[in-house]
Amino acid sequence: MSTIDFDVVIIGLGPTGGTLANLLAMNNLSVLVLEKEAGIYNLPRAVHFDDEVMRVFNTIGITKSLKKKIIINKGTKFVNEKGELLLDWPRPKVITENGWYPSYRFHQPDLERSLRHKLKRYEKVVISQNSEVYKTINYKNHSIIQYKNIKTNQIFSVKSKYVIGCDGANSFLRKQIKSEMEHLGFEQRWAVIDLILKTKKPNLPDRTIQYCNSKRPATYCRNVGKRRRWEIALKAEESVEQFFDSKKLWKFLSQWVSKDEAIIERKTVYTFQSAIANKWRRGRQILVGDAAHLTPPFMGQGMCAGIRDASNLAWKISICCKKGHNERLLDTYQSERSSNVKDYINTAMKMGELLNSIGGSKVSDTVYVEKDGTIKMNSIKPELGKGLGKLNDKNRGKIFPSLKINFNKEFDDLFSCYPILITNNNESEKKLKIRTYRSIDIPEIKIILKKFNSNSLIIRPDRFVLASTDKSDLKEFSHFCHNDIYAL
């Protein structure tokens, strides 16, 4: 067989593709990223991510640059036409188990610049812009990717161990692997208007407001700096040109802001959908993010879901690149992620029904009633679906908390690329020939093991607990990792 050009080819360099490329590069893989656009799209799109995603960004090493350009999100309120509170979803300003605040607002071009800047540090990463993939061929031991330079029409062909489609809702790779989208029931056209304030507007809410209305539901978002966003449902018979007529649009916005107080940065129409691909992988071709699933934006979880996909897949691909292709291991990617993302999609759909005034406030099992009658919601935290580990293990799929070792080092830094065994029983690592990572005394670990009610845990590189270990757990996972498990 001729030489492999790259370990992985990624199609698409948005936030999901950029995150995945960084995670793979950290594992010392060679990566080619093919991006159709000439540069970063410099207008707002995604505007929210959560603590779990911030932890992934911290693993990559971009939080220092990001922190200067993000704001903490205070939460969401659903109100009726009279302005009465229907549902309150607060995001308390407290550090979570992931080591960050629960919710952030950001400007997508800022995130993409940080991801790309980090990628430039890796010698094994190649970014090719103006590059459109037009064919992929899936072989038993590799994939062929054919693409052209849009500007010069020059044709290229490369060979890689894997090709991953981070190429969005209209994914080319999804069509190549003949994967069908299963539509889950929500489909509605919404106008999205991004404004930049010219003057201070202290009367504008400092959090997201969902205006529930059967005729014209709308969403207001407090974004970074002077940016504000309105999302407005379009009526079935209404044309885009009609709604975006300057007089009509500003008349609608006038209840919040006047034409003299802001400029429109972007206006567009999206069809908000709920859908999930029936097949996320065919051999060595894999779908990630919007290529695999679409969620309505009412929870701000669309991009987050793609980042979670990348975090789940990166270390599994790394093991396969270094130790050999493993169908069983890669099969766990879709099985673990699809049920998790479906929980977010279903909750977002119920929020959409509440917004359209055709559903109630019981949008999830985390909704509760305060003593004063206020209906509130806690954030959902769906567990991993069936995959690695035993489903009857009470700790399997739980998030292992982020810990500070000292002022300059975090516990996560010890195992960004490999699974790690946390144990009070040194004999177990000796019997199973597990490598000792290093001798670091972290008193908190004993406390955490007590909270998990276990003497030993295997932690995955994506920060989930694989198992409350016994001998069979370690042997099974050692088989996948070829004993590249480290003990602390």
The domain locations on the chain are: 6-71+103-181+275-326, 411-487
Does 37 score more than 70 pLDDT?
yes
Q: From start to end of 215-327, where are the E strands?
A: 218-222, 227-233, 262-277, 281-282, 285-287, 293-294
Q: What is the pLDDT of residue 44?
A: 93
User: Could you report how far apart the first and last alpha carbons of the chain are, in Å?
Assistant: 40
Share of the chain above pLDDT 70, in %: 91
Give residue 437's pLDDT band: very low, low, confident or very high (50, 70, 90).
Answer: very low
Q: What is the pLDDT of residue 469?
A: 78
As a whole number of angstroms, the distance between CA 429 and CA 437 comes to 11
Q: Which residues of 188-218 are buried (b: 16+ CB within 10 A; e: fewer)?
A: bbbbbbbbeeeeeeeeeeebbbbbbeeeebb
Does 418 score more than 60 pLDDT?
yes
Mean pLDDT of 168-178: 97
Q: Which long-range contacts (CB under 8 A, 24 or more apart) does 320-329 make?
A: 320/161, 320/162, 321/7, 321/8, 321/27, 321/29, 321/161, 321/162, 322/27, 323/481, 323/482, 323/484, 325/141, 325/161, 325/284, 326/480, 328/480, 329/388, 329/480
Mean pLDDT of 369-394: 94
Angle among Cα 51, 390, 322 to the nearest 5 degrees reads 70
Mean pLDDT of 300-311: 98
Does 428 score more than 70 pLDDT?
no
Q: What is the pLDDT of residue 477?
A: 67
The label of the residue with tokens 């989930």 reads 464
Q: What is the pLDDT of residue 29?
A: 98
Of 3.30.70.100, 3.50.50.60, 3.40.50.720, 1.10.150.530, which CATH number belongs to 6-71+103-181+275-326? 3.50.50.60
Closest CA to 127 of 228, 244, 40: 40
Give residue 423's pLDDT band: very low, low, confident or very high (50, 70, 90).
Answer: confident
Lowest mean pLDDT among 71-75, 121-125, 382-386: 382-386
Measured between alpha carbons, how far is residue 218 from residues 48, 130, 235, 480 in Å? 17, 36, 12, 48
DSSP H helix total and E strand total for the chain: 12, 26
Bridge partner list, 100: none
Does 2 score more than 90 pLDDT?
no
Instruction: Assess contact for 305 and 336: CB atoms under 8 A.
Output: no
Is the pLDDT higher at 455 or at 28?
28
Mean pLDDT of 168-176: 97
Q: What is the pLDDT of residue 334?
A: 98
Does 134 score more than 50 pLDDT?
yes
Q: What is the pLDDT of residue 212?
A: 98
Does 454 score more than 50 pLDDT?
yes
Share of the chain above pLDDT 90, in %: 82
Mean pLDDT of 382-401: 92
Give residue 470's pLDDT band: very low, low, confident or very high (50, 70, 90).
Answer: low
Does 483 score more than 60 pLDDT?
no
Does 182 score more than 70 pLDDT?
yes
Angle between helix axes 302-323 and 471-481 (nearest 10 degrees) is: 80
Q: What's the DSSP call for residue 464?
A: B
Lowest mean pLDDT among 28-42, 354-368, 403-417, 459-473: 403-417
Give the pair of three-digit tokens for residue 434.
């597990």
Lowest mean pLDDT among 105-119, 137-151, 208-222, 473-487: 473-487
Does 58 score more than 90 pLDDT?
yes
Does 382 score more than 60 pLDDT?
yes
As a whole number of angstroms, the distance between CA 475 and CA 487 comes to 14
Q: What's the DSSP call for residue 360?
A: -
Mean pLDDT of 62-87: 96
Q: What's the DSSP call for residue 239?
A: -
Instruction: Assess contact for 299 and 152: CB atoms under 8 A.
Output: no
Does 269 score more than 50 pLDDT?
yes
Closest CA to 470 of 454, 450, 453: 454
Helices marked H in 356-469: 426-431, 443-451
Q: What is the pLDDT of residue 425?
A: 66
Closest CA to 269 of 238, 226, 313: 238
